[in-house]
Amino acid sequence: MSFLGDKYLISTEIGFAIFEKIKDLPIIDPHNHADVKEIADNQNYSDVWQLFAATDHYVWEMMRKRGVPEDYITGERTPKEKWLKLASVFPEFAGNPVYEWVHLDLRRYLNIRITLGPDTGLDIWRKANKSLAEASRRPRQLLDKIGVEVMCSTDDPIDMLEEHEAINKDAGRKLIRPTWRPDKAMKIANPGWRKYMKQVAKRFKSELNDIDELIAAMQDSHDYFAGCGCVASDHGVEVPLSGDADKKAADAAFKKAMDGKKLNPAEIEDFMSYFLGEVAEMNAEKNWVCQIHMGAVRDIRDRLFNTIGPDSGGDVASPNLEYLDPLKKFLNRFDDRLKVILYCLDASHQHLLATVARAFGNKVSLGSAWWLNDTPIGMRRQLEYIGSVDLLYNFAGMVSDSRKLLSYGSRFEMFRRVLSDVLGDMVTRGQMPYQVAEKLAVRVSYESPKELFGF
């Protein structure tokens, strides 16, 4: 019953037995937002704020919630001032997973078992920084400590991926793989799109005179990524895209946007839908996994977006998005010839997506509870539900989705504990034999993602 003790998140003996079997399995993290350069450079972290909070908008949002001025979050204050401010409000985060993740990270990777709060902030600042100065706490060493067997970063089609190569060469194995995420090319209505197109044109030596040339450049990039060990794409969409738009309409929208003219919603849809359909074809051909992240309505708080920019907070889930029609069209187009993972943000869409994954059979999997659902209760509700409609055996497994290296450890530990607890409950209630549950736990924690992504 102790805070983050052995039985953390596990309520049955059987659940604990299951956890014992999976807790030390290597970590497969098929989707994160790693700072690849940080890993390649492999320098010691300057301080505990840098490693624990500087890149983590989950932490930022909780600080704002407790009234901490932005200056101490993303602003000009020193890392030490920021850390101490974080410490001063940290006990008020209790109940939110940030409270658990930070304490897990302090314990598991820095051997600091003190609880963070106003009285201990300075002490932890000193102890943590001392620890972080050791050679064993550099990024690559931490990845080993965490037990990462393979992880996938999220990368732009124009990236050259040299750092991935350097890391893997040094590691002597495919430790880090890129993920091909062409959102910047697809999101034709974004302010920076034309500028980005110029970069695409330069990178792939194309005039980009029409949509065929854009798709050809994307094909070049897709092939290049494949050569660098990429096995998956990723696509972030508020509402799914049908992938069945007319090419002529998409081409007209493309040319209009290239001319700097504003597109109407139907034109945006035409372009994006056609684009996704074409790049999904590339995935199908190479047997890549096509990951679709749905339902995040981003940057709704103007003040944050206007002063700090994207990925800083202010993102929400919405239950009122119409997923089914476009998803149906997309999945029918690629039926049984494309591996798809559906990640869903709003919990009220969980039911829909589980039934869709069931309906489309073997190649369509549910992804792990995403972002605002990546919490003990969010994961529990999802795991309870997935198996009852779809199959846990087909679940794509955990991803950290994190911008913070340490998260690969604490988030996977949280997931494995919740999974063990859910399966332990099912065995305790007589819903499956113990041996079956144990195999299922190993499958979901390790084998499934390895098989699905072909690592």
Contacts with its own copies in 66-105 (CB under 8 A)? 66-67, 91-97, 99-100
Residue 25 touching its own copies (CB under 8 A): no
Q: Residue 85: how many CB atoms within 10 A of its CB?
A: 21
Binder among 385, 447, 450, 455 for its own copies (CB under 8 A): 385
- The smaller minimum CB distance to its own copies, of residues 11 and 111, is found at 11
C-alpha torsion angle, residues 419, 424, 429, 435 (rounded to 10)? 110
Helices in 299-455 by DSSP H: which ranges?
302-307, 324-333, 350-359, 376-389, 407-428, 434-442, 448-453
3-state DSSP assignment of residue 112 = coil
Binding segment for its own copies among 140-148, 187-195, 353-361, 401-409 (CB under 8 A)? Answer: 353-361
* Residue pair 204/220 in contact by the 8 Å Cβ criterion: yes
| Touching its own copies, residues 250-279 (CB under 8 A) | none
- The smaller minimum CB distance to its own copies, of residues 103 and 138, is found at 103
* Residue pair 263/249 in contact by the 8 Å Cβ criterion: no
Phi then psi for residue 258, to 5 deg, are: -65, -30
Residue 4 touching its own copies (CB under 8 A): yes
Binder among 216, 391, 403, 442 for its own copies (CB under 8 A): 391
| Touching its own copies, residues 299-338 (CB under 8 A) | 300-303, 313-324, 328, 331-332, 335-336
Residue 390 touching its own copies (CB under 8 A): yes
Binder among 45, 204, 330, 360 for its own copies (CB under 8 A): 360
The number of residues that bind its own copies (CB under 8 A) is 92
- The smaller minimum CB distance to its own copies, of residues 67 and 191, is found at 67
Binding segment for its own copies among 23-31, 209-217, 377-385, 403-411 (CB under 8 A)? Answer: 377-385
- The smaller minimum CB distance to its own copies, of residues 66 and 195, is found at 66
Binding segment for its own copies among 3-11, 80-88, 138-146, 262-270 (CB under 8 A)? Answer: 3-11
Binding segment for its own copies among 44-52, 163-171, 245-253, 373-381 (CB under 8 A)? Answer: 373-381
Q: Which among 388, 413, 441, 280 is positioned nearest to 4, based on CA atoms?
A: 413
Residue 439 touching its own copies (CB under 8 A): yes
Binder among 358, 442, 447, 450 for its own copies (CB under 8 A): 358
Binding segment for its own copies among 28-36, 132-140, 357-365, 398-406 (CB under 8 A)? Answer: 357-365
| Touching its own copies, residues 132-161 (CB under 8 A) | none
CB-neighbour burial class of residue 402 (10 A; exposed 0-12, middle 13-18, buried 19+): buried
Is residue 9 left, alpha or beta, with left meaning phi > 0 and alpha meaning psi from -120 to 50?
left
Q: What is the DSSP letter of 180?
A: B
Binder among 20, 46, 65, 198 for its own copies (CB under 8 A): 65
Beta strand pairing status for 148-152 and 176-177? parallel
CA 258 from centre of chain: 31
Least distance between its own copies and beta carbon 196 (Å): 27
Residue 394 touching its own copies (CB under 8 A): yes
* Residue pair 109/145 in contact by the 8 Å Cβ criterion: yes
Residue 59 touching its own copies (CB under 8 A): no
Least distance between its own copies and beta carbon 223 (Å): 28
Instruction: Tell me the residue ranges of DSSP E strands in 2-120.
Output: 27-29
Helices in 118-246 by DSSP H: which ranges?
121-132, 139-146, 162-171, 183-186, 193-203, 211-227
Residue 115 touching its own copies (CB under 8 A): yes
Binder among 40, 356, 398, 399 for its own copies (CB under 8 A): 356
Least distance between its own copies and beta carbon 61 (Å): 6
* Residue pair 349/295 in contact by the 8 Å Cβ criterion: yes
Least distance between its own copies and beta carbon 88 (Å): 13
* Residue pair 274/331 in contact by the 8 Å Cβ criterion: no
Residue 454 touching its own copies (CB under 8 A): no
- The smaller minimum CB distance to its own copies, of residues 252 and 321, is found at 321
Q: Measured between alpha carbons, how far apart are the two ends of the chain, in Å?
A: 38
Q: Which among 43, 88, 23 is positioned nearest to 62, based on CA atoms?
A: 88
Residue 17 touching its own copies (CB under 8 A): no
Least distance between its own copies and beta carbon 355 (Å): 4
Is residue 401 left, alpha or beta, with left meaning phi > 0 and alpha meaning psi from -120 to 50?
left
- The smaller minimum CB distance to its own copies, of residues 62 and 398, is found at 62
